[in-house]
Amino acid sequence: MKRFSHILSILSFLLLVSLPAIASEEKSQPIDQSQQSVALLAPPLIAPYADNQTASRAIDRNISLFANRIKERFALYLSRSGKYIDVMQNILRNKEVPEDIVFLSLIESGFNPNAYSIANAAGPWQFIASTAKRYGLEINWWKDERRDPIKSTEAAADYLKDLYGMFGSWNLAMAAYNAGEGKIMRAMKKSNADDYWDLLGTKHIRAETQEYVPRFIAASMIAANPREFGFEEIDYSAPLSYDEVELEYPIDLAAAAECAGTTVEEIKKLNPELRRWCTPPDADVYVIKVPEGTGEAFVERLSTMSEEERFTIDRYTVKKGDTFKRISARKGIPVPVILSLNSMGKIMPLKQGSTIYLPPKDLYSLDQADRALIKKASYRKAKRSVVSSGKKKGAATAGKSTKSRKARKA
């Protein structure tokens, strides 16, 4: 009965998102509760796209993609969903967003908090940095809250709800989530469309956006009843569970693991937003997640640790001619990070022989975002070099040309 109810919930939502967008003068208003009730009860629930050949073909194509071409990978995504789906759906319900929009995370990242795209989008909801910051997610050298499954879901729900307010349609809201609201607005204006399906087949949205909603619907249908689509035995991960502990000082993840009686890897899995060897030193209070049932023992064990045991830091003796910028370039550590570790609000002259704190070289390592930034900087440097070389060559050629003209004139 529980599975049947869940399937009905999925299908009801699919019917809801398939309805045409409401009239333009009503687009900024949520659907009336009475209208929504009628929509959910309207038949046929099992075939909401039967009369829309464009939609049906697109959905069937993506069902084939998931159930045939990438079946093994999609089965992994489904198994991983067991860890996050309950907590994410609860957040969506509380934010008054249809709970089955949770399956956007299925097609965005396969419910992987550590997913990182070539477009520098990160986390289970694949936020780019600018949108993430707009919706309250912190991104700095120490942490990336796009990777926090709780905070990123709250941000995604807020963003999707805003998009629904703009377009009056969950289909268009999801398309805008993929392409950006500006692109969808322009596409609708150019094509005189007021429905997502009318945009398919036009040149006004990218192929990726044309596949996005059909892909979401296909993934949702399979997730609701995997056996029907050939996924026989999905080994779902256990639901996410943990205790939370407030920290008023930074600690190493190794120290956290010791206090919780677990591994560093498990601490990282519970706190995927953490990018370094420790909790953020610049946070007045940081809430760390530890395995369920270990919170009290964690606090008790941590209280017996000295500062040196719980937090590792390197000490660097300032040499003649050292500046923060030179140390930053030599050590590969951003200046703001060095300042925060040394409780400095701004760059100040360094005194030879004094000691400053730096991240421990044996514990500090590059993550995906670091590597992406280095690659981007390298590309820009190479591009500048090519441009500069071209300008010099052009200037030299111009000079020779002038001399030749003068010689001919003489």
Yes or no: say if 147 and 272 are a contact pair by the CB < 8 Å rule.
yes
Give the residue carrying structure tokens 């198994």. Answer: 79
- Indicate if 108 belongs to the active site: yes
Please pick, among 108, 145, 211, 273, the residue that the annotation labels catalytic. 108
Yes or no: say if 27 and 234 are a contact pair by the CB < 8 Å rule.
no
Structure tokens at 95: 């934010």
Yes or no: say if 219 and 106 are a contact pair by the CB < 8 Å rule.
yes
- Packing angle between helix 170-179 and helix 149-167, nearest 10 degrees? 120
Long-range CB pairs of 227-231 (<8 Å, 24+ gap) are 229/63, 229/66, 229/67, 230/67, 230/71, 231/67, 231/71, 231/74, 231/75, 231/78
Side-chain-facing half-sphere of 182: CA atoms under 13 Å = 0
Strand partners, 143: 274
Report how far apart, in Å, the C-alpha atoms of 290 and of each of 90, 233, 260, 297 are: 21, 30, 7, 10
Active site residues: 108
